[in-house]
């Protein structure tokens, strides 16, 4: 590590108590997406106090903001998230024990994500002030990653137009650069409007909206045979009527349509839409399509991966104490050991023995090689949309016990104690080191930009939101769950 980078690693360590306090406050707020008022205010006020120019409520979202410091080029964006998940309230202990029954909790560690990114931009601000970096550093306060494509909507509103490089990270149980893509997805509610009637005394005059929902689902299930293997159709009936003896005049079903790339999602969505229209025709009901949002698949940028990988090795993996290892061992007792089997498909045969020894540990203690290039991970994230409008790189650090499932109380527990804190502080260093590298080396920026332009020249980004789209924020707030 160079002398200058060591200065900013030391700055993050000197401010660790402040960063941990912010993370723990966001962990305790545990606010659902689009409702992160306390969390966004805490982050934005911290940046204001540090001298950043902060624009609140960007892209029509009260809890979205952009904070900028410095001037000129390059413009480096660091993305932050801070939304929680429903029903995952949890104490910072290795047993399932909610702080408040059925309340939200940080089962995806976004309290760590938002604060780690904060630590990174604050360290870069110190470098700018010291003359060790030139350009503009920005923190993008991105709400509702779990509920909505907020980043894609920010992109639609032009908030990334002058950004040269975007960097982000995510809490995980591994230390490595993210080289795999994520699934593109559409999130859509299909609502049917029928006519009510007494189900026994007057059934001939009813037009059942629930029948339409069920017929649509039957059609979608037959469609599964005629799509590529990697397409995923998930649905849940969110309104099925009021009582068995009343023909439902309103019913709705919520669908996720996923595929390895945006084009296949759009093709599959058109087929699902035809099925919905057919169900409406069969039941003489009216179809209402409520498009909640869509996301892209990740666009690779190996030039940025190389910078992140180098700086992960400079920052080094988090070092855990014996009590943290014991905490992780207790957590592992509560997880399904078969969960880890899915990771073996991403591991090259010649790395398998080492990989399995790492995956069997309670906590990841080393930076792993870049694995999974060209593969598609099963989840989705709005970070992917940013990768299509700016060159972007992402990495993960160990913030939870090995094998903790995504969106779990186990993750929420670790995110509120020292295991999560250490991964977060490591991430802040990697972000700061990488941003400073790009700010001081125009060749790195140009290399990443050329790769981005080459990958997008024949397939430019087209927003997944339909023309004239108005975000159905109130509907989104009523629906639990996650797009991830």
Question: Which residue would you say has higher pLDDT here, 254 or 5?
Answer: 254
Give the SS3 label for residue 217.
helix
- If asked whether residues 287 and 315 sit together in one domain, one would say no
- If asked whether residues 219 and 314 sit together in one domain, one would say no
Q: What is the pLDDT of residue 2?
A: 65
- If asked whether residues 209 and 350 sit together in one domain, one would say no
What confidence tens digit (pLDDT) does each residue in 215-228 have?
A: 999 999 999 999 99
Q: Is position 132 within any domain?
A: yes
Q: Is position 115 within any domain?
A: yes
- If asked whether residues 104 and 216 sit together in one domain, one would say no
CA–CA separation, 314 and 342 (whole Å): 29
What confidence tens digit (pLDDT) does each residue in 409-455 have?
A: 999 999 999 999 999 999 999 999 999 999 999 999 999 999 999 99
- If asked whether residues 393 and 264 sit together in one domain, one would say no
Domain boundary, last residue among 266, 295, 324? 295
Domain boundary, last residue among 267, 295, 323? 295
Domain boundary, last residue among 253, 279, 295? 295
Q: Is position 482 within any domain?
A: no
Instruction: Flag whether pLDDT at 388 surpasses 90.
Output: yes
The range of the structural domain enclosing residue 348 comes to 3-180+297-456
- If asked whether residues 285 and 375 sit together in one domain, one would say no
Instruction: Flag whether pLDDT at 351 surpasses 80.
Output: no
**SS3 of the chain: helix, strand, coil, percent, to 5:** 45, 20, 35
Mean pLDDT, residues 251-266 taken together: 97
- If asked whether residues 126 and 63 sit together in one domain, one would say yes
Domain count of the fold of the chain: 2
- If asked whether residues 369 and 245 sit together in one domain, one would say no
SS (H, E, C) 52-78: CEEEECHHHCCCCEEEEEECCCCEEEE
- If asked whether residues 359 and 418 sit together in one domain, one would say yes
Q: What is the pLDDT of residue 478?
A: 85
Q: Is position 474 within any domain?
A: no
CATH number at residue 223: 3.30.70.360
The β-bridge relationship of strands 75-81 and 136-142 is parallel
């Amino acid at each position: 590590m160079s002398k200058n980078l060591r200065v900013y690693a030391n700055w993050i360590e000197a401010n660790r108590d402040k960063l941990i306090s912010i993370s723990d406050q966001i962990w305790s707020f545990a606010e659902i997406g689009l409702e992160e008022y306390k969390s966004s205010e805490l982050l934005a006020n911290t940046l204001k106090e540090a001298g950043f120019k902060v624009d609140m409520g960007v892209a029509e979202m009260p809890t979205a903001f952009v904070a900028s410091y410095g001037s000129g080029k390059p413009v480096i964006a660091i993305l932050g998230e801070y939304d929680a998940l429903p029903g995952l309230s949890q104490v910072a202990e290795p047993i399932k024990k909610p702080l408040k029954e059925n309340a939200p909790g940080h089962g995806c560690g976004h309290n760590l994500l938002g604060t780690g990114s904060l630590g990174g931009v604050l360290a870069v601000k110190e470098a700018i002030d010291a003359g060790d970096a030139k350009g503009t550093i920005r923190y993008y306060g991105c709400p509702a990653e779990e509920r909505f494509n907020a980043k894609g909507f920010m992109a639609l509103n032009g908030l990334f137009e002058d950004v040269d490089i975007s960097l982000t990270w995510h809490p995980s149980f591994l230390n490595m650069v993210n080289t795999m893509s994520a699934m593109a997805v559409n999130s859509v509610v299909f609502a049917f409007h029928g006519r009510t009637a007494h189900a026994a005394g007057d059934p001939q005059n009813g037009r059942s909206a629930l029948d339409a929902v069920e017929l649509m689902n039957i059609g979608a299930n037959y469609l599964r045979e005629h799509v590529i293997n990697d397409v995923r159709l998930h649905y849940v009936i969110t309104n099925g009527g009021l009582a068995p003896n009343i023909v439902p005049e309103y019913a709705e079903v919520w669908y996720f349509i996923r595929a390895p790339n945006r084009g296949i999602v759009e093709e599959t969505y058109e087929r699902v839409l035809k099925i919905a229209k057919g169900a409406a025709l069969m039941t003489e009901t009216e179809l209402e399509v409520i498009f909640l949002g869509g996301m892209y698949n990740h666009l690779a940028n190996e030039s940025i991966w190389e910078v992140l990988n180098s700086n992960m090795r400079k920052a080094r993996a988090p070092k855990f104490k014996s009590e943290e290892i014991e905490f992780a061992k207790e957590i592992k007792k509560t997880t399904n050991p078969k969960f880890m089997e899915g990771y073996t498909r991403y591991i090259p045969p010649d790395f398998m023995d080492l990989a399995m020894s790492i995956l069997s540990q309670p906590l990841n203690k080393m930076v792993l090689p870049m694995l999974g290039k060209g593969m598609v991970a099963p989840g989705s994230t709005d970070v992917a949309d940013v990768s299509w409008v700016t060159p972007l790189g992402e990495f993960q650090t160990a913030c939870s016990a090995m094998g903790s499932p995504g969106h779990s109380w186990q993750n929420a527990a670790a995110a509120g104690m020292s295991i999560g804190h250490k991964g977060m502080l490591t991430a802040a260093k990697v972000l700061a080191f990488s941003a400073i590298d790009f700010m001081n080396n125009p060749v790195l920026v140009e290399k990443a930009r050329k790769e981005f332009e080459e990958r997008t020249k024949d397939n430019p980004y087209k927003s997944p939101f339909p023309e004239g789209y108005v975000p159905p924020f109130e509907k989104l707030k009523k629906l639990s769950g996650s797009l991830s």
